[in-house]
Amino acid sequence: MNDTRAPAIDIALVGDAVAREPATAASTAGRTNIFDFDRAALERFFEEELGEKKFRAQQVMKWIHHRYVTDFGDMTDLGKVLRAKLEEHAVVHAPQLIFDKESTDGTHKWLLGMDPKNAIETVYIPDKGRGTLCVSSQVGCALNCTFCSTATQGFNRNLSTAEIIGQVWIAARHLGNVPHQQRRLTNVVMMGMGEPLANFDNVVRAMSIMRDDLGYGLANKRVTLSTAGMVPMIDRLAAESDVSLAVSLHAPFDELRSELVPLNRKYPIAELMDACVRYATRKKGESVTFEYTLMKDVNDQPEHARALVKLMREFDRRVQMKDAAKVNLIPFNPFPGTRFERPGDEAIRAFQKQLNNAGMIAPVRRTRGDDIDAACGQLKGQVMDRTRRQAEHRKRLQQDGVFDAA
């Protein structure tokens, strides 16, 4: 059923997104999708539903996440009776691969079908000695950040755990990744389509599989969750998971940030920084990354740099650790119909220099995959929009005489 509420800010939809489970999460043809289970849940399923020992669940996890086998008949160290039980009660169902593209710089993008009407994008970025997968958590996004291409697509629903970890599975299989041996996938960032903390339970469960030795065996610090600033959920994340935190800051002033990130009207910068301090101080040596997308004549001026330095220094002081705040500078990546522009290289370097001169770590993220629309802020997918935002964006494009290839 289409949502008829006006989506001016769509903050109301965030709460809806937290509670709402996708229709595809529970089963396929009445059978349970094992991709939805982390180790603890799969062990319970084996004991309570199948009447089997826990170690059998662990064997199946290895087959799925280490060897990329989805047919129970091919899991040769399982007995015939257990394989028959699994065929009757369970399935290993990954998202549908619609197409994949490779950039000239080695970046790889997959368009994955979640259901007949919705698809999301997942991106792999290889770099010196590391390979990072950018994973989506929702079909579209309810937050409506004004500089993000995903926002123009509107919002449909949360992804299930299976649909989130399925992105990792598809990429890892394609790359020939072998956990603990031939590791092509070294980092996962929850920075794709959607606000991860608005889909808390499914995202946390998927990140558990990423970090499990029977899953993808990634260290806690190599799995990063990026949020626009859902303050209560940052606190819940601190209590229930142990991953790296990144925050989409993009402005040091409330008035400007509220324009760029409407969620700021609900959780202003002071409240957000308080939550980040609580997250960083839950264990010794923890840092938080603050993402800052540079937009020409919007947030790239000297006064913005000075205010950002002040904000980050105060964070370090409260955490009582030098470089507790790390700033990631991201030059804006344009998309059809946007009113924002990327600053010139000189302006980007000048902004970075101000931060560096103040003693701050502030690398400029190199744009990757922009020739296949896989750069930061460009992910779109295919969204059956429950808001009116997608239609409004297309109307603006038509009025401006812009053709949107997507």
Active-site residues: which are they? 121, 376
Task: Output the CA torsion sign for 377, 381, 382, 383.
Answer: negative
Please say whether the beta carbons of 196 and 225 come within 8 A. Answer: yes
The secondary structure of residue 158, as a DSSP letter, is E
Distance of CA 20 to the CA centre of its chain: 18
User: Which amino acid is present at 331?
Assistant: P
Q: Is 99 helix (H, G, I), strand (E, B) or coil?
A: strand
The secondary structure of residue 146, as a DSSP letter, is T
The pair phi, psi for residue 382, each rounded to 5°, is -135, 115
Radius of gyration of the chain from its Cα atoms, rounded to whole angstroms: 21
Q: Beta-carbon neighbour count of residue 260 at 10 Å?
A: 21
Strand-by-strand arrangement of the 187-190 sheet: 96-102, 108-115, 118-127, 130-134, 187-190, 223-227, 244-248, 288-294, 325-331
- Among residues 252, 242, 224, the alpha carbon closest in space to that of 360 is found at 252
d(CA 388, CA 147): 17
d(CA 176, CA 181): 11
d(CA 39, CA 358): 45
Q: Beta-carbon neighbour count of residue 406 at 10 Å?
A: 12
Please say whether the beta carbons of 105 and 375 come within 8 A. Answer: no
Q: Which residue has the tokens 């998202």?
A: 95
Instruction: Pull the structure tokens for residue 120.
Output: 């999301």
